[in-house]
A and B are shown apart, each in its own frame.
Chain A
């Protein structure tokens, strides 16, 4: 089983739609969780951290369910500029290494 698994998509949605991505992780002791965004042929950039209490940043909402080892990202009112690959990222239990484990990403295309 992969450490971090995502539905690869692609998700093709119209502008204004709401879309949700899911991610599961295998290590129940994982410490921190993030969503990164990667535009085509560009480097990954942090979109938002994910907390157990859930967090929201504008049109983006991230949720963490530790019991189910599940992370989600919800995008409301999709914009053309949201088209990208969304990477679910997990860090292992605390220690000296700060290793990010990336999922393979979910590709989103927002259509006009």
Chain B
């Protein structure tokens, strides 16, 4: 079974530039998550989708971050404009359902460095 795919794997940009990340979840997984993991910290949930609807975006900095999952499969996360503190690994995860107990499967992440 193919895992969660993410691209690009690495990105270096200057502050105030824009950047976009792409995620393709495991086939059949209804729920998709974007996490931000800053060096030395655990992942922090940015946004959660169920199919193409947003379930939780309470920790997404909406003044600069946006995400969409238009057809309930692939998703993109955008940062515009980027700040130095956005340097982190952006992890996408998916799970079959939303609720208690099921496992989240993570992609390899996109490492973002903002200069």
Which A residues are closer than 8 A to B by beta carbons? 4, 8, 31-32, 42-46, 49, 87, 89, 91, 94, 96-105
Count of interface residues, chain B, beta-carbon cutoff 8 Å = 24
CB distance from A1 to the nearest CB of B (A): 15
Q: Given A43-B91, A43-B106, A97-B48, A102–B98 Cβ distance below 8 Å?
A: no
- Cα-based distance from A104 to B108 in the complex (angstroms): 18
Question: Could you say which residues of chain B place their CB within 8 Å of the CB of A105?
Answer: 41-42
Residue of B nearest to A87 (CB): B42
User: Is the CB–CB distance between B106 and A44 below 8 Å?
Assistant: yes
The 8 A-B residue pairs whose C-beta atoms are closest, nearest first, are A102-B42, A43-B106, A97-B56, A98-B98, A46-B103, A104-B42, A102-B43, A104-B41
User: Is the CB–CB distance between A99 and B45 below 8 Å?
Assistant: yes
CB distance from B105 to the nearest CB of A (A): 8
CB distance from A10 to the nearest CB of B (A): 12
Residue of A nearest to B104 (CB): A100
User: Is the CB–CB distance between A91 and B45 below 8 Å?
Assistant: no
CB distance from B13 to the nearest CB of A (A): 20
Q: Given A42-B108, A97-B56, A104–B40 Cβ distance below 8 Å?
A: yes
Residue of B nearest to A45 (CB): B106
Question: Could you say which residues of chain A place their CB within 8 Å of the CB of B16?
Answer: none
CB distance from B7 to the nearest CB of A (A): 14
- Cα-based distance from A98 to B102 in the complex (angstroms): 9
Question: Could you say which residues of chain A place their CB within 8 Å of the CB of B40?
Answer: 8, 104
B107 at the interface (CB under 8 A from A): yes
Q: Given A32-B100, A42-B108, A43-B109, A96–B42 Cβ distance below 8 Å?
A: no
For B41, B42, B98, B109, which residue has the most chain A Cβ atoms within 10 angstroms? B42
Residue of B nearest to A91 (CB): B100
B75 at the interface (CB under 8 A from A): no
User: Is the CB–CB distance between A31 and B100 below 8 Å?
Assistant: yes
Beyond the given A99-B56, A105-B41, please list 20 additional residue pairs across the A-B interface where CB-CB is below 8 A: A8-B40, A31-B100, A43-B106, A43-B108, A43-B109, A49-B101, A87-B42, A91-B100, A96-B55, A96-B98, A97-B55, A97-B56, A98-B31, A98-B48, A98-B55, A98-B100, A100-B43, A102-B44, A104-B40, A105-B42
